[in-house]
Amino acid sequence: MKTLLGGAIAAALGLIGLVVWWEEFFEVLAGIVPVMLLLGGGLAIYLGFDELRDSWKKEEAIESPTSEGENVEVYKKEIDDLKDEIETLKKDKEGEDQNKEEA
């Protein structure tokens, strides 16, 4: 009930203020509208640029799987090289262990 009464009083005072300060209201409105248009336009430009940048990222993501196929071969070769290195290290360690046992 208090909210309803407060709202009615605020609306009545707003209406009275609008009637009394009619010219000042339009002066303020005339000053606010260009600023709001400027800020709204800047926001629209920013959002449009952000959307365009996201679409560029999606296009790059679609194009990248072709290059991933080439990378698979590189990774397979690297894994094979690492396996060979591990085997070499194991053999070296076994040789060292046998030399320690003999000594």
Per-residue pLDDT reduced to its tens digit, 32-53: 999 999 999 999 999 999 999 8
CA within 13 Å, CB half, 27: 4
Note the pLDDT tens digit of each residue in 6-18: 999 999 999 999 9
pLDDT band at 69 (very low <50, low <70, confident <90, very high): low
Buried b (16+ CB within 10 A) or exposed e, 4-41: eeeeeeeeeeeeeeeeeeeeeeeeeeeeeeeeeeeeee
Asked whether the beta carbons of 29 and 22 are under 8 A apart, the reply is no
pTM of the prediction?
0.44
DSSP secondary structure code for residue 1 in this structure: -
Q: Could you state, in order of their start, the residue ranges of all structural domains in the chain?
A: 22-102
